[in-house]
Amino acid sequence: MLARRTLLKASAALPAALAAPAIGQTTRRISFLTWNIIDQEPLIRGWIASFQRANPGAEVEWLDKKGPELPAFYQTQLAAGTPPDVINTQGALWMEYAANGVLMDMTPRLAAEADVKNRFNANYLSNWTLGGKNWMLPFYITKTLLFYNKTMFQRAGLSGPPQSFDEILAHAGKMAQGDATGFLTLNFDWLYWPLFAMNGVNLLTPDLKRPAFNTPKAIEVVEKLARASESGAINKISWTGRWVEPNGAFATGNVGMLHAHSPAYFFIRGQGNWVNGETLGVAHAPGNYSTPNSHGLGVSQGSRNPDLAWAFVKHVTANEQANQLATQRRILTGNTAVDEALLASLRTADPLVHDVLKTQIEHTDKMVGNWPLPQDARVKDAFWPELQSALLGRKSARQALADAERRVGRELSRG
């Protein structure tokens, strides 16, 4: 999963644009850095070929790095003054880059090309806004939802998915028998935050300057989660695992509910031979809250061919290319027309995938855990260990939240 690193403030050292090419030299080069999608090589090579045909003299170099490797690679290239022209990032990593001046501000270009801006779901597009400016465009989009094991629900006498936080815990308790547990959640990148949002708990004040989570209600929520974890209603892998462990546990068919983002479906379907439309349910979390964990495309401020890089981003996110990505990976792109077409085709071709992906464009006004904070990684690293200690019974909820409040406040004060 994401490897968070503090970005070197190397933007000031980035070189100026190259001098004008020699007479007769027409080649313009850009590089495209992607986040672990080497499996889509034929598709991306096709995008590059079609872009080069439409832009004579242009050359695109494709670089792909695994998640833990990409931030370090990009940071190294920034320090060397040779950043990839177009970069694909996941989650909130882009905010650190934007705040340090190493991403190009796309706001003027989107204002000048309304047709490009309007191709995207507005709520997803706004997830890449910081300081009133847009720094990236959607590449492919995901947010959390609730998967549930219908067989375990029926066995426990449950007629449908929970409609409140307390019902999540009650449902989980009814399914926790023997080796079975009732609930799992992914915990990285604030993916668990809907559990707090549905209880009215805010991480920060509206101006994002001070902690707001250390309240009696938050203490109550953490205490309930800790008790449910101790009893087995909540599987403790929720608080110790990352991606493979919780998804793998749910895929065994021995856990009642999984709170995760949509790509988890393909993982559990690949490992769980019990997964089909009759046994796997799909629902929104109570209150329709979700946390996005999408991939975006940005242009490095140090690009030597920013206009060409911008043209390539537009090319990749245009209907034809976005449709190819959506169809091959069965994933939504943030391009509204493309996503609607994919869902229409899946309604009969693969109803379960349709139901999973449909949740991704519903209630997009209820996305949480996506605060526009340049120091997002530092705030998360200050908050999560304290919360984890409480959830695993190592600290009281009251003490853990007080300690987290001090640590988060310190990070916010650093700006």
**pLDDT digits over 134-146, tens only?**
999 999 999 999 9
pLDDT in tens, 71-128: 999 999 999 999 999 999 998 999 999 999 999 999 999 999 999 999 999 999 999 9
Strand order across the beta sheet in which 137-140 lies: 58-65, 28-35, 86-90, 295-299, 137-140
DSSP lists the bridge partners of residue 143 as 292
pLDDT for residue 21: 38
Angle at 119 between CA 66 and CA 369, to 5 degrees: 55
Tokens 């850009």 found at: 30
CB atoms within 10 A of CB 196: 23
Element (H, E) at 225: helix 216-231
Q: Are 222 and 397 in contact (CB under 8 A)?
A: yes
What's the rounded Cα separation, in Å, for the pair 162 and 352? 20
Contacts of 295 (CB under 8 A, 6+ apart): 35, 88, 89, 90, 138, 139, 140, 141
Alpha helices by DSSP H, listed for 276-318, are: 306-317
CA dihedral (369, 385, 72, 83) in degrees, to 10, reads 30
Tokens 């986040």 found at: 35
Cut 0.75: pTM above it: yes
- Between the alpha carbon of residue 107 and those of residues 118, 131, 300, 341, 375, the distances in Å are 13, 11, 14, 28, 22
pLDDT in tens, 261-306: 999 999 999 999 999 999 999 999 999 999 999 999 999 999 999 9
pLDDT in tens, 4-14: 333 433 343 44
SS3 16: coil
pLDDT for residue 15: 39
Q: What is the CATH number of domain 16-142+294-356?
A: 3.40.190.10
Average pLDDT over residues 146-175: 98
What's the rounded Cα separation, in Å, for the pair 192 and 181? 18
CB atoms within 10 A of CB 328: 12
Q: Point out the least confidently predicted range of 20-34, 73-87, 346-360.
A: 20-34
Tokens 């090419």 found at: 21
CATH superfamily of 144-291+375-414: Periplasmic binding protein-like II (3.40.190.10)
What's the rounded Cα separation, in Å, for the pair 227 and 234? 9
- Between the alpha carbon of residue 254 and those of residues 101, 222, 226, 240, 355, the distances in Å are 47, 24, 20, 18, 22
CB atoms within 10 A of CB 218: 23
Q: Point out the least confidently predicted range of 44-48, 171-175, 254-258, 374-378.
A: 374-378
Return residue ranges of the chain for CATH 3.40.190.10: 16-142+294-356, 144-291+375-414
pLDDT for residue 348: 96
Contacts of 254 (CB under 8 A, 6+ apart): 179, 180, 181
φ, ψ for residue 257, nearest 5 deg = -140, 150
What's the rounded Cα separation, in Å, for the pair 224 and 230? 10
- For the chain, the distance separating the N- and C-terminal CA atoms, rounded to the nearest angstrom, is 26
Q: Is residue 366 predicted with pLDDT exceeding 90?
A: yes
Average pLDDT over residues 326-340: 96
pLDDT for residue 22: 35
